[in-house]
Structure 1
Amino acid sequence: MTEFSAEELTHRKGQLTQRLAELGVRLHGIEDELLSHQSKDWEDLATEREQDEVLTSIGDGGKEEIRMIQAALKRLSEGEYGFCTTCGARITDERLDVLPATPFCRNCAH
């Protein structure tokens, strides 16, 4: 089913793996930051809680991206990477350059 050369697949796998590692580092930093707050002052505590909400939101987005990358790596290992999971059409290289973990072609993404 794959129309990608071995070189292209290796390149895409490298992109996905690198991004996965970057997200792991970022999420670890967010977790450390969330655990580091120890304020006893009510004003500082309120500010920290607000910041925690932002960090949690960023972390949730990172976790979703990790799930997408893991799914893309699975599709890659199964020879299904680069094809839309909805219609089966090949996803354009331009789209994969911008969104390497995307499971959808441009038409099905809308």
Structure 2
Amino acid sequence: MTTSIDTHAVRAALLSRLDALGARLDQVEQDFAQPHDPDSGEQAIERESEEAEEAIGDAAVAEIAATRAAIARLDAGSYGLCVSCGDPIAPARLAALPAASQCIACARAAGS
């Protein structure tokens, strides 16, 4: 782990993000639980909205997994190191994407 990383601040930011993602996922689940409008035209619109909300929910689930993995790397002492090559991840990348698990080069090579 690089010494310039404030692990307490990173942990707080990651936990805060987990809370926000959990709230987003709860909202998506609540929206899915709502009954459909009896009007067939409204139902079509609602179904389109559900597809968008499902995509949002899927993205939230993926981000939750990445955030939990980042917390696990913090606990293991490997946060800030690329999981692919082992090189340090640029501080600017971690500041922009605290759950980043790869350096820019490896992320580009992986297509993510």
Q: TM-score, normalised by structure 2?
A: 0.92
> How many angstroms does 1:84 deviate by?
0.1
Q: Please tell me whether the aligned partners of residues 27 and 62 of structure 1 are also in contact (alpha carbons under 8 angstroms).
A: yes
2-side partners of 1:37 and 1:49: how far apart?
11
> How many angstroms does 1:4 deviate by?
2.7
Q: Please tell me whether the aligned partners of residues 37 and 48 of structure 1 are also in contact (alpha carbons under 8 angstroms).
A: no
Runs (5+) with no aligned partner, structure 2: none
Q: Please tell me whether the aligned partners of residues 84 and 102 of structure 2 are also in contact (alpha carbons under 8 angstroms).
A: yes
Aligned match of 1:52: 50
Runs (5+) with no aligned partner, structure 1: none
Q: Please tell me whether the aligned partners of residues 83 and 101 of structure 2 are also in contact (alpha carbons under 8 angstroms).
A: yes
> How many angstroms does 1:55 deviate by?
0.4
Aligned match of 2:20: 22
State the one-letter code of the partner of 1:61: A
Secondary structure of the corresponding residue to residue 101 of structure 1: coil
What value does the CA root-mean-square deviation take over the aligned residues? 1.2
Q: TM-score, normalised by structure 1?
A: 0.93
Which of residues 69, 72, 88 in structure 2 aligns to 1:74? 72
Q: Percent identity of the aligned residues?
A: 36
| Residues paired across the two proteins, number | 108
State the one-letter code of the partner of 1:20: L
Moved segments of 4+, more than 4 Å: none
